[in-house]
Structure formats: C-alpha cells, structure tokens
Amino acid sequence: RKNYERTKVVSVDVSEHACKKYGHETRDISCWAPNRKFDLVICQSVLQYLDDQAARSAIKNLAKATKHVLFFEVPTKSDLRNTVDRDVTDFEIYSRTGIWYCNELKKYFTQAGAGLWVAKSSTIVLYELEGPQR
C-alpha cells in the first residue's frame, strides 16, 4: 500500500479470527455485496466452503462487486484428486467440478485465462487469444 497510496483496499472474511488478525471487515460474501464496484476483486479459495446455493449467491455478489476483473481461484474435484498437497489441504469442503464453476461464472463474466474473469459490463477489450476459445 505504501507504493500505491491512492489505492483503496477493502478485504472481507467471514472468520472473526482472520478479521482480527489481518484487519478484514467481517462479511459473508454469500449474502453481502458492497454498495460500490471495484476495479479488481480477488476471491481465492473461498467458495469451496459454501453449499451450492450459497456459492451461487456469492458468485452473483462477486459480479455486483466487480467493475472490471475478478481473480477467482478454488480447488475443483480434479484439483483435489490430482494437484493439491494432501498433507496441507482442507478436505472438509464442498467439492465441485470446474465445469460447475465455469457455468456459474459465465453468467456474469468472460473467462480471460490465468484465473481472470472480465465482467460482462466492463469496458475492457480482450484480444482474441485472451478470451474464450471457439
């Protein structure tokens, strides 16, 4: 934040412990959306803790919060089988396919690759190779 003094960072978490430790606002993304949009929204390893209905609501709220770009990361069923470190990964989660997440995100965003999703309402222009392949 020192290098970007004009940058406003808002961070939220449902965990009171995390909020105290890291200075987040206490919020549940499945039932809360900010009253303004942000240029960049980051949702990293969150939605696997929500049931399907709450995860859908959270994605809708992420769309309401995103002016331009969402960075989205969540372990999928395939990741849990083939990618994650089983010794340090929490498996008490709702496991979903990548297709499930893509179908929900595509209602509001265009996939740009590398975990980036551009809001359909954004003015950002993607080159052919940055957007979804036909």
* Alpha carbon distance 97, 62 (integer Å): 19
Distance of CA 101 to the CA centre of its chain: 10
The answer to whether residue 132 scores a pLDDT higher than 80 is no
**Mind listing the pLDDT tens digit for each residue in 27-85?**
999 999 889 999 999 999 999 999 999 999 999 999 999 999 999 999 999 999 999 99
The answer to whether residue 134 scores a pLDDT higher than 70 is no
**What pLDDT does residue 15 have?**
87
**What pLDDT does residue 25 have?**
92
Q: Which two tokens stand for residue 7?
A: 């940058």
Which of the four pLDDT bands, split at 50, 70 and 90, describes residue 9? confident
**Mind listing the pLDDT tens digit for each residue in 90-106?**
899 999 999 999 999 99
Which of the four pLDDT bands, split at 50, 70 and 90, describes residue 21? very high
Q: Which two tokens stand for residue 67?
A: 């002016």
**Mind listing the pLDDT tens digit for each residue in 121-131?**
999 988 888 87
The DSSP result for 6-69, as a single string, is T-----EES-HHHHHHH--EE--TTT---SS-EEEEEEES-GGGS-HHHHHHHHHHHHHHEEEE
Q: Tell me the β-bridge partners of 40.
A: 69
Q: Which domains does the chain possess?
A: 33-121 (3.40.50.150)
